[in-house]
Amino acid sequence: MNMEPKNAFARFHVRQAFGIHLFFHALAIVFTFMGVVYAPLVLYALYLILLVSGFLQASSAKTKPLPLLGDHFQKWFTFIS
């Protein structure tokens, strides 16, 4: 796969998905140490909503970043190319 030309559309969505996963795991660790009981249910719902939203964006060929953190994900994860 490294022989294929770089695709900006694919890089955009990989960065967004990577950011969603890291954000989910970071919050899961924080909530675990805080001992919050119902927060994981909300966290899982938010995680699924963001993943489905990203999938729908990718399948409709749109490159709209996620609210709040999407632009930051594009800046932070420039190593994904």
Domain boundaries, the chain: 8-76
- pLDDT band of residue 2 (cuts 50, 70, 90) is very low
Query: Residue 12 CB: number of other CB atoms within 10 A?
Result: 20
Residue 38 pLDDT more than 70? yes
- pLDDT band of residue 1 (cuts 50, 70, 90) is very low
- pLDDT band of residue 30 (cuts 50, 70, 90) is confident
pTM of the predicted model as reported, rounded to 2 decimal places: 0.79
- pLDDT band of residue 22 (cuts 50, 70, 90) is very high
